[in-house]
Structure 1
Amino acid sequence: MASTASTVESSDLDVSQFRHTPFYCEENVYFLCKKLCTNRLADAEGADLFVVFISNEKKQIPLWHQKASKRADGLVLWDYHVICIQRKIEGEFPFLVWDLDSTLHLPLPLGSYVSQAIRPSFQISPEYQRLFRIIHAPILFRHFASDRRHMKDSNGNWMAKPPDYEAIVAEDGTMHNLYEYMEIKTGDVYSNKTIDVKDAVFSQKLGAVANNLEEFFTQIL
């Protein structure tokens, strides 16, 4: 259940202001971050925003409370998913999750989102464990690109209707690098012994990979 604080925070929010095309979560989140910046709901440059790609080596990740689900509990087995996490300097909750594909409140405190949508306490096979690639939004704005080729079948037909706006092109002209962000392996998970996680998130194109979202964000407070 969402907390009272999270409900109040989202009570006046017009969700329709955010672009949303089903099955194009990476683009939805990209433009969500841009909109939060322009609407002054976030830092103008996105300094308080982080984009999180969720996947694993099997490309099968269970998430609950998803709009695309036909189940009562909202369970969907995605190949990957993308959300935005916002760092809040003031307030009871230091991190808020923005997931336009979720039926949960928007935004939602990170702890509430993890417990309801990710459900780490729910026993699942190790091959379905979720891994998280976290990228600082200003870095993603510069480098991310997708020409939507991943949404076409072997005959070149769309598997889901694409957005009605132009595809995202990186600042350097790159047309497509989505797969670099989607490819997440257990061996990529950061270790305090091998990586300065804070430096990686704020400087690296592909950020850092974690297997525990809440624990990870305590490292960059």
Structure 2
Amino acid sequence: MTTLELQQLNSMDASDFHHTPCYCEENVYFLCKKLCSNGIADAQGSDLFVVFISNDNKQIPLWHQKASHRADGVILWDYHVICIQRKRDGDTHFVWDLDSSLPFPCPLATYMSETVRPSFQLFSEFQRFFRVVHAPIFLHHFASDRRHMKDSDGNWTAQPPTYETIVAEDGSVHNLNEYIEIHAADVGKYLPADLTSAVFSQKHGVVFGEAQLEEFVSQIS
């Protein structure tokens, strides 16, 4: 990593990015766009990966989350979305999580050990799975009209952002469910030799178990 890149990263603050509570997928969408436009990431976002975290039960514990009311910052999300940046020079990859109380951005290894805590023994229903989508593909296809944030009477369950809803470049108005539906059976659908090409080509990326994620990112060339 160059000295300039380090200076840019050290100068970043979560408050520099748009953040609406409970709309993490939209927050990450605009975070990726800003990282591309301000030179922190490649202009096309080729070094960025959008990661959806969830499971069959829509119950995933993550630590060091600002929305938590506990000292350890643990919270049970139905799903969460972060951005991982792969740095071409050096071994450090970074996580951009606008809802985290850890350093921003946070080294991937630190984020995994402190937020995911794979060494913490969880019941099987709380195991986390990670859908990794290459950012250029995500920015092209993702759409949300926020219908998932309304109750049966049409009332908002959380105050929505003030800007317009995100419409995909192909005209889709809502496909969030295609990303957040993550199941244990999705892991291992691709052979190891095909994983990288799948992440860089598939609309919905590839689903990993928590033991595989960090290793995969470190191996991307």
Aligned pairs for 1:69-148 within 5 A: 69-93=68-92, 95-148=93-146
Question: Number of residue pairs matched?
Answer: 214
Output the CA distance in 2 between the equivalents of 1:103 and 1:134: 22
Q: Deviations over 1:187-207 (max 9, x none)?
A: 111356377111110000000
What amino acid is the match of 2:161? P
Q: CA deviation at 1:55?
A: 0.2
Task: Report the secondary structure of 1:218's partner residue.
Answer: helix
Q: CA deviation at 1:174?
A: 0.4
Going from structure 1 to structure 2, the CA distance change for 1:14 and 1:106 (only over 3 Å counts) comes to closer
Task: Report the secondary structure of 2:215's partner residue.
Answer: helix
Task: Using the aligned pairs only, state the percent identity.
Answer: 64
Q: CA deviation at 1:161?
A: 0.4
Tell me which of 186, 195, 198 is aligned to 2:196: 198
Report the RMSD for the aligned CA atoms in angstroms.
Answer: 1.6
Output the CA distance in 2 between the equivalents of 1:92 and 1:136: 19
Q: TM-score with structure 1 length normalisation?
A: 0.92
Q: TM-score with structure 2 length normalisation?
A: 0.92
- Structure 1: gaps spanning 5 or more residues: 1-6
Q: Deviations over 1:77-121 (max 9, x none)?
A: 00000000001012341x110000000001111100000000000
Contact 2:83 2:97 in 1 (8 A): yes
Runs of 4+ in structure 1 off by over 6 angstroms are none
What amino acid is the match of 2:129? L
Output the CA distance in 2 between the equivalents of 1:151 and 1:215: 34
Q: CA deviation at 1:14?
A: 3.7
What amino acid is the match of 1:215? E
**Residue of structure 1 equivalent to 2:65:** 66
